[in-house]
C-alpha cells in the first residue's frame, strides 16, 4: 500500500516537462483509476492505493509521459460544457471550434426553430450534437469518412439523449447525401502535410482528420463543389479555418455571399460564415 500523495508528487515533477497542469492531470488520472471525482482526490491525497491501483495509475502516467493526450487516456473531452467520448479514431474537440457554435447562435437566435443541420466531417459529433442541444426542435445529420468515428458520434448522441434527432452516416463529404439543410457546419482537415505538429496531435489524432494536401485547402475545394446542392434557399454555412487560411478559403467560395468572419478567443480568424 502506498500513499497517493507520493505518486502525485513524483508525477507532478515528471509531467512538468510536457504540461503546465501536471498536478491537476495526475489527480484526474488518479480519479479515473479510483472511479471517483477530481474533488475527492484533491482533498484526500493521503489515501492509500493497493498494488493494482498503483500499477494502473503508473501505467497511465507513462502513457501521458509519452505525450498521449489526457483526453485520449481518459477517453473523454468536454466541449460546449457537454461530455464527449474520444478515441484514437476521433479528433479531439477543441475550444477553438466552439466559435462555430457561437456563430450559429448569433445568426439563428430563435432556439425553437425547426432547423435542419448538416455536419460535414463530424468526428465525435461535437458540433452537431452541441447545436441539437441548443435547438430542441432541430434535427441533423453528421457525415464522416471514418466508420469508427461515426460509431463514436452515435455513442455520444445516445449518451446525451439526442439519438432520436441525430443520424450519422459514413461517406466522403456529402457524396452519400441528398436533400436540403438550413445550416451546414464543418471543421474539415486543414493542416498542410508539410507542417510540423505537436507530438500530442501528430501521433494520437487521426491523420484523416488533420491533413488536407500541401496547402491545407484540399478539403475546402471539395466542400466548395458539393455544398451548393445541399442548401435550402436561406441556408448559411459555417466553416472552421486554420491559421492564416481566411484569404485562401474565401477565394474558393468567392461566388457566394460573405456574411462574417468570427475570431476565436486568441484573436485568430476561426469561422467563416456565408450563404449561397
The answer to whether residues 157 and 226 belong to one domain is yes
Scanning 216-265, the segments in alpha helix (DSSP H) are: 218-226, 246-252
C-alpha cell at 90: 476521433
Unique residue bearing C-alpha cell 502525485: 8
* pLDDT tens, position by position, 102-125: 999 999 999 999 999 999 999 999
CA-closest candidate to residue 115, choices 95, 89, 135: 135
Q: Does residue 33 fall inside a structural domain?
A: yes
Q: Does residue 230 fall inside a structural domain?
A: yes
Number of domains in the chain: 2
The answer to whether residues 90 and 54 belong to one domain is no
C-alpha cell at 84: 464527449
C-alpha cell at 26: 495526475
Q: Which residue, of 40, 66, 92, is where some domain finishes?
A: 66
Q: Does residue 71 fall inside a structural domain?
A: no
C-alpha cell at 80: 460546449
Assess whether pLDDT exceeds 80 at residue 208.
yes
Q: Does residue 11 fall inside a structural domain?
A: yes
The answer to whether residues 264 and 133 belong to one domain is yes
Residues 6 or more apart in contact with residue 218 via CB below 8 angstroms? 189, 212
Q: What per-residue confidence (pLDDT) applies to 239? A: 96
The answer to whether residues 112 and 48 belong to one domain is no
Task: Measure the N-to-C terminal CA separation of the chain; round to a whole number of Å.
Answer: 65
The answer to whether residues 176 and 81 belong to one domain is yes
The answer to whether residues 15 and 82 belong to one domain is no
The answer to whether residues 52 and 129 belong to one domain is no
Angle at which helices 51-65 and 4-15 cross, to 10°? 10
Q: Does residue 72 fall inside a structural domain?
A: no
pTM: 0.92
Q: Which residue, of 66, 91, 118, is where some domain finishes?
A: 66
The answer to whether residues 191 and 146 belong to one domain is yes
Average pLDDT for residues 254-269, to the nearest whole number? 89
* pLDDT tens, position by position, 153-207: 999 999 999 999 999 999 887 776 777 899 999 999 998 888 888 888 888 998 8
The answer to whether residues 85 and 52 belong to one domain is no
Q: State the CB neighbour count (10 A cutoff) for residue 208.
A: 15
Q: b/e string for 159-182 if b means 16 or more Cβ within 10 A?
A: ebebeebbbbeeeebbeebeeebb
| CATH classification at residue 88 | 3.40.50.150
Q: Which residue, of 38, 66, 94, is where some domain finishes?
A: 66
- Return the bridge partners of 79, or none: 82
The range of the structural domain enclosing residue 31 comes to 2-66
Amino acid at each position: 500500500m502506498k500513499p497517493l500523495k507520493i505518486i502525485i508528487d513524483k508525477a507532478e515533477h515528471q509531467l512538468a516537462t510536457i504540461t503546465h497542469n501536471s498536478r491537476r492531470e495526475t489527480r484526474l488520472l488518479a480519479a479515473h483509476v479510483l472511479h471517483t471525482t477530481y474533488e475527492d482526490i484533491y482533498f484526500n491525497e493521503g489515501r492509500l492505493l493497493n498494488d493494482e491501483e498503483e500499477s494502473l495509475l503508473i501505467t497511465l502516467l507513462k502513457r501521458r509521459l509519452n505525450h498521449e493526450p489526457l483526453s485520449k487516456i481518459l477517453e473523454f473531452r468536454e466541449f460546449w460544457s457537454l461530455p464527449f467520448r474520444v478515441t484514437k479514431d476521433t479528433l479531439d474537440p477543441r475550444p477553438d471550434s466552439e466559435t462555430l457554435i457561437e456563430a450559429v447562435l448569433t445568426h439563428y437566435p430563435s432556439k425553437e426553430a425547426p432547423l435542419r443541420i448538416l455536419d460535414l466531417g463530424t468526428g465525435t459529433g461535437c458540433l452537431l450534437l452541441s447545436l441539437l442541444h441548443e435547438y430542441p426542435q432541430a434535427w441533423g445529420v453528421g457525415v464522416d469518412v471514418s466508420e469508427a468515428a461515426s460509431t463514436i458520434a452515435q455513442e455520444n448522441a445516445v449518451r446525451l439523449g439526442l439519438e432520436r434527432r441525430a443520424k450519422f452516416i459514413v461517406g466522403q463529404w456529402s457524396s452519400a447525401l441528398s436533400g436540403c439543410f438550413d445550416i451546414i457546419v464543418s471543421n474539415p482537415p486543414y493542416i498542410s502535410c508539410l507542417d510540423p505538429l505537436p507530438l500530442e496531435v501528430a501521433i494520437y489524432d487521426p491523420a484523416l482528420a488533420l491533413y488536407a494536401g500541401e496547402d491545407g485547402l484540399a478539403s475546402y475545394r471539395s466542400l466548395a463543389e458539393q455544398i451548393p446542392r445541399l442548401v435550402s434557399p436561406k441556408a448559411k454555412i459555417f466553416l472552421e479555418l486554420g491559421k492564416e487560411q481566411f484569404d485562401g478559403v474565401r477565394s474558393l467560395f468567392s461566388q457566394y455571399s460573405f456574411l462574417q468572419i468570427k475570431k476565436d478567443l486568441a484573436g485568430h480568424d476561426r469561422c467563416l460564415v456565408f450563404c449561397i
